[in-house]
Structure 1
Amino acid sequence: MSTTTTNDFFKSKVLGHPAGLFVLFFTEMWERFSFYGMRVLLINFLTFSIIGDNPGWGWSAENAAALYGTYAMLLYITPIFGGILADRYIGYRRAVVIGSIIMTLGHASMAIETPLFLYIGLGLLVIGTGFFKPNMTSILSEMYKGHSDKKDGAYTIFYMGVNAGAFFGMMLCGYLAENVGWSWGFGLAGVFMFFGTLQFWLAKPLFGTVGEVPSKADRIAAEEAAKTSLNAEDKRNPFTLVDKLLILVTIVIGLLYAFNDPLSKIGNINLFPFKAGSVDGQNVMVLIALILFLVLVITRIARYTTVVRDRMIAVVVFAFFTVFFWMSFEQGASSLVIFARDNVDRTLEGGSLMTFNIVNTILTIVPLLIVSWVLILLAKQTWNRIPGSNIVLAVCFIGVWGVVVWMLYQYFTADKSEITVSWFSILNSFFIITFASSISKIWDSKYNPSAAVKYGLGLIVMAIGFGLLAFGAYGVTEGIKVSMIWLVLAYLFHTLGELCLSPVGLSYVSKLVPARMIAFMFGMWYLAIAIGNKLAAILGGQIENITKEYSLSTFFLIFTIVPTIAGLIVMSLNPILKKLMHGVK
């Protein structure tokens, strides 16, 4: 794609960066607002009692998690195809707009609150995310070609937009859904997704040719450049027919499994109606797909020379332990939501309510003031070129301020108040914003540990959070609720674990993998995250069964012990992994 106009971006600056970065910042912010706003509601809505002032659907945790797990799994698969389509045919900017429109329709469908429209809405969100997710960062990367010294700062600002959107989305959509009605929460997510799309589209004059549909000449030039850049290592190991067949078969079985899990539990429709002894057909097919995928990875890696082969083995090892991390961390979308609702004492009054109101007000108003200030700076720089986009953003923030003031007023005027379930989910975004720069400085210092140690620390620190929950829930029986401090501390340690591990993975894929395999290995990496998300939902859906059979403390001990063991193992592999990486740091 053409990059002839990228230098023009640096003529109008906001906080030392081109104004176009902050258009992307707000676009990503509203998308994350809608995504996390819906995400924090889904399990709660599906499992909430069917009677009462604000009834849910009364599903079991197992069935709700089966549906959510498939949704979360597919979110990491469709971006692979969306990125390919944008690269070759429709361009990054058009892909973002298409994805945004589809996701807006998805949120609108979910606000109708019927099973049919719920499934349609989730399907549209999966498809829309496929177009949106990979192409926002592609636009950002293209904007900063020739300005690599600015890129790290740009991604940091962009990442703040992600967390700001998640923070306000979970807080406001959650509050409306739990206190007014579920459709209001789902609907608010759709409203801001729509406005995010509109402000991005109206900002077209700011981007010039960046992210446009690639011309035929651009596509041919890119293909030729790719061919000439392949080194001898890549040319000697093309994808064979067997490789392609193995990829196809594993994808088909994986997708069939993803759909069969909720279909068999919720709709009593089984795509694998057989058993091998006492093993269900679904699990048999998953095992077959896993074996075929391992054959694919092993045979491809074996065909490379020693150094490249060793480095790719290191990536596979890291991907394996990634599954254990996300399997535990993503309990925040399933079991921790149910735990917060049913087992945490969220009722406050008197001095404790006043303390919460002060903390909550500071927590809400300060970041909103900062983001509003950035909006004003952007408007000053771009009003003459994109007035429509700035007006839409202003309307968005007037709406957010309105909902925030109304929410805080409700808290302050109540003599007794129950903290919303969704409030606890905002803590992850808050702690990321609070601690990300400090953790980054440690990694940039002389204390910077190896990748294996970071992975081990990430897993173990996160496990401490679950250990605290296991301790806090020890001896809890029906009718007894635990202090919310245990959940707050758990989210703190989960976030610190995420900051240790999450930024490491993709960085090492790009450093260790040869050019021809990088797309395949990135796909494998996202597959590992997708599997982790699905396993998280499967295990999280067992919270009711395990609590009934054993105890709530036992449930959290699973996520204390397993990640701790995984963390110790990966740290013990540090000397081997260093050797396999052949000097890559």
Structure 2
Amino acid sequence: MAENSTDQFFKSNVLGHPSGLFVLFFTEMWERFSYYGMRALLIMFFTAKVFNGGWEWPESWAYAIFGTYVSLVYLSTLLGGYFADKIIGFRYAVLVGALLMTLGHGCMAIETPFFIYTGLTLLVFGSGFFKPNMTSIISEMYKDRPEKKDGAYTIFYMGVNSGAFVGILLCGYLGEQIGWSWGFGVAGIFMLFGLIQFWLAQNIFGNIGLKPEKGNEEKVVLKEGEKLNPFTRFEMALIIISSTLGLSWILNDPISKISEGAYNLFGFKIFGFDGQNVAILTALLIFVILLIIRIPKYAKTTRDRMLAVVFFCFVTIFFWAIFEQSPGSLTIFARDYTDRILEGNSAIIFKIVDVLLTVVPLGVITWVLFKLFKKTFAKYSWSNIVLAFSFLVIWAIAIFRLNDKLSGDVAEIDASWFGTLNSLFIITLAPLFSKWWEGKYNPNANMKYAIGMVLLGLGMACVAIGSSSIEPGAKTASVSMIWLVLVYFFHTMGELCISPVSLSYVSKLVPGRMIAMMFGIYYLAIAIGMKLAGMFGEASTGIAKEHGISYFFWILTGLSLGLAVLSVIMYPMVKKLMHGVR
């Protein structure tokens, strides 16, 4: 048997998959726990009153730094992926990323400006090293077992959403009810557990993800009629100028606002236009020029399929810009405008639901943990001991939270709690959508995007209707929480139509030698969407004062439905560009 054959990984299996998959499952779970747990608190911490432990920033400042942070998280994956592929390997990239994120969360727990900004910087680079390389290890592990890969990614995806669910639930509670430092700090503690567990069990991956050997790169195989199109010096110069302007703008945006203009790289005007606007528009124009120069150089089929990817990336930008209102304007809406106090029978029902939502997922994950123990304890006992201890701590925090929430006659729902609904609905609905995509009524790519944007619009329409009675400029209100539940229900279904299938279409539409470049463009689209999410959040403050918060949500509804219509109209053209790829 070849040393790096995938058969060796299947000798020790859990639920029909290699034990190594579940080491990745729990490592990714703790990373998502820390990322989503911290992210759920970020804007609330910045905007909370000083006597509540916050910084009492204007919401526009908080949205600006949030948009920059989540945007840079996705941009940094390009850097982390490059280092892993060319220099340090997937495995050490994961370890470096986990260490940087542990330090980042630790810094944020100190809550001074220096440590908060340092923490966010470390988290950006940590995510860049960690995020793209976990899935790369899975891909290598299943290289000779492609028929098992879909099941592997499904299990891994459950780990992602389990971590997000538990992270928002527990970090959100600790941050809002005990103290912000507790929420930020606990996120870092569990990232540390994930790091140690992965480090102690890394030999389970054999030779996968080790430092790449020089001269061992795969040779590019070209099909008949294809040719390599290396970037010219002029094209590289365009990339450098566009990237520099774009990054400068992303960083300058929150810095100029928070310093109230004291530090502003683009604090000048060109022909009467604001320097900051000129910088980002120039960066986007140069990028479009680059695409116009590059795409015609490829063979017709490749060129057409690249244009199809560009269209999907365009829709993706606005999908994430609207979807990512969840930790931003929707969380602020939950805090300031939603009736989160339940009494009588409503309180009793919610408490029962809350117990089930806490205990059942943790119980299932603990059962998976025991399954892993049976297979790997003899060989990787210390890794398992660290994992077991981390779950004891999780159960202790969960029981402490339930004990607090179950006391008294009323039920107070944390503003961050609504964010858990996305993960809960994904775990519940993902199998149904998977069956849909595998059946004979599987929609084409454009229709999936159209359905996703319609569902996104329906979600925003729900909260727009629910907030219609809120007067312009109102600081507080008591809207029924059912509207927020509906938002997350529709938005999750929209995500299931777009997010999982997007990467699939990128990989199907371009040749293997170009996947890295097109994934780069796809992640750039997400990064732009994330920054737009922060900008939309900033706009919500002014719109709410002048026209009411409902008007803001109606704008996002209209934008979503408009892009859905565009996807339908573009179907004949995009179908032709895809040349038979479904």
Once the two structures are overlaid, the 10-residue window that deviates more, 143-152 or 273-282, is: 273-282
The equivalent position to 1:109 in structure 2, one of 88, 107, 110, is 107
Q: Distance in 1 between matches of 2:5 and 2:147?
A: 18
Contact 2:350 2:411 in 1 (8 A): no
The residue that corresponds to 1:417 in the other structure is: 411
* Aligned-CA RMSD value: 1.3
Contact 2:226 2:299 in 1 (8 A): no
The equivalent position to 2:219 in structure 1, one of 220, 223, 226, is 226
5+ long unaligned stretches in structure 1: none
Q: Which amino acid is 1:20 matched to?
A: G
What is the DSSP-based 3-state SS (H/G/I as helix, E as strand, rest coil) of the residue aligned with 1:203?
helix
Q: Distance in 2 between matches of 1:298 and 1:205?
A: 46
Q: CA deviation at 1:41?
A: 0.4
Contact 2:6 2:145 in 1 (8 A): no
Q: Distance in 1 between matches of 2:288 and 2:224?
A: 25
The equivalent position to 2:286 in structure 1, one of 284, 292, 296, is 292
Q: Distance in 2 between matches of 1:288 and 1:535?
A: 17
Q: CA deviation at 1:367?
A: 0.8
Q: Distance in 1 between matches of 2:336 and 2:526?
A: 28
Q: CA deviation at 1:517?
A: 2.7
Contact 1:331 1:540 in 2 (8 A): yes
Q: Which amino acid is 2:6 matched to?
A: T
Contact 2:320 2:526 in 1 (8 A): yes
TM-score (norm 1): 0.97
Q: Distance in 2 between matches of 1:279 and 1:461?
A: 37
Counterpart check, 1:332 vs 2:326: yes
Q: CA deviation at 1:208?
A: 1.9
Q: Which amino acid is 1:388 matched to?
A: W
Instruction: Write out per-residue CA displacement over residues 358-411 of structure 1, whole angstroms, 9 at most, x where no aligned residue.
Output: 111111111111000000000011011000010011001111111111111111
The residue that corresponds to 1:533 in the other structure is: 530
The equivalent position to 2:255 in structure 1, one of 239, 245, 263, is 263
Instruction: Write out per-residue CA displacement over residues 434-464 of structure 1, whole angstroms, 9 at most, x where no aligned residue.
Output: 0001011011101001100000110111110
Q: Which amino acid is 2:489 matched to?
A: L
Q: Distance in 1 between matches of 2:105 and 2:265?
A: 28
What is the DSSP-based 3-state SS (H/G/I as helix, E as strand, rest coil) of the residue aligned with 1:215?
coil
Q: Which amino acid is 2:179 matched to?
A: G
The residue that corresponds to 2:43 in the other structure is: 43
The equivalent position to 2:183 in structure 1, one of 179, 185, 200, is 185
5+ long unaligned stretches in structure 2: none
Q: Distance in 2 between matches of 1:270 and 1:246?
A: 24
The equivalent position to 1:171 in structure 2, one of 169, 172, 183, is 169
The residue that corresponds to 2:464 in the other structure is: 470
The residue that corresponds to 1:572 in the other structure is: 569
Once the two structures are overlaid, the 10-residue window that deviates more, 462-471 or 278-287, is: 278-287
The equivalent position to 2:422 in structure 1, one of 428, 433, 441, is 428
Q: Which amino acid is 2:565 matched to?
A: L
Contact 1:173 1:189 in 2 (8 A): yes
Q: Which amino acid is 2:330 matched to?
A: L
Contact 2:5 2:144 in 1 (8 A): no
Counterpart check, 1:194 vs 2:192: yes
Counterpart check, 1:239 vs 2:231: yes
Contact 1:3 1:142 in 2 (8 A): no
Q: Distance in 2 between matches of 1:450 and 1:137?
A: 26
Contact 1:456 1:571 in 2 (8 A): yes
The residue that corresponds to 2:82 in the other structure is: 84
The equivalent position to 2:494 in structure 1, one of 497, 508, 528, is 497
What is the DSSP-based 3-state SS (H/G/I as helix, E as strand, rest coil) of the residue aligned with 1:385?
coil
The residue that corresponds to 2:205 in the other structure is: 207
What is the DSSP-based 3-state SS (H/G/I as helix, E as strand, rest coil) of the residue aligned with 2:267?
coil
What is the DSSP-based 3-state SS (H/G/I as helix, E as strand, rest coil) of the residue aligned with 1:214?
coil
The residue that corresponds to 1:349 in the other structure is: 343
Counterpart check, 1:551 vs 2:545: no
Q: Distance in 2 between matches of 1:515 and 1:5?
A: 22
Contact 1:92 1:136 in 2 (8 A): yes
Instruction: Write out per-residue CA displacement over residues 67-103 of structure 1, whole angstroms, 9 at most, x where no aligned residue.
Output: 1111111111111111111112211111111110110
Instruction: Write out per-residue CA displacement over residues 161-186 of structure 1, whole angstroms, 9 at most, x where no aligned residue.
Output: 00000000000000011111000000
Q: Distance in 1 between matches of 2:140 and 2:513?
A: 21
Contact 1:3 1:143 in 2 (8 A): no
Identity %: 54
Q: CA deviation at 1:424?
A: 0.2
What is the DSSP-based 3-state SS (H/G/I as helix, E as strand, rest coil) of the residue aligned with 2:379?
coil
Q: Distance in 2 between matches of 1:45 and 1:373?
A: 35
Contact 1:5 1:209 in 2 (8 A): no
Q: Distance in 1 between matches of 2:532 and 2:504?
A: 24
Q: CA deviation at 1:280?
A: 1.1
Q: Which amino acid is 1:580 matched to?
A: L
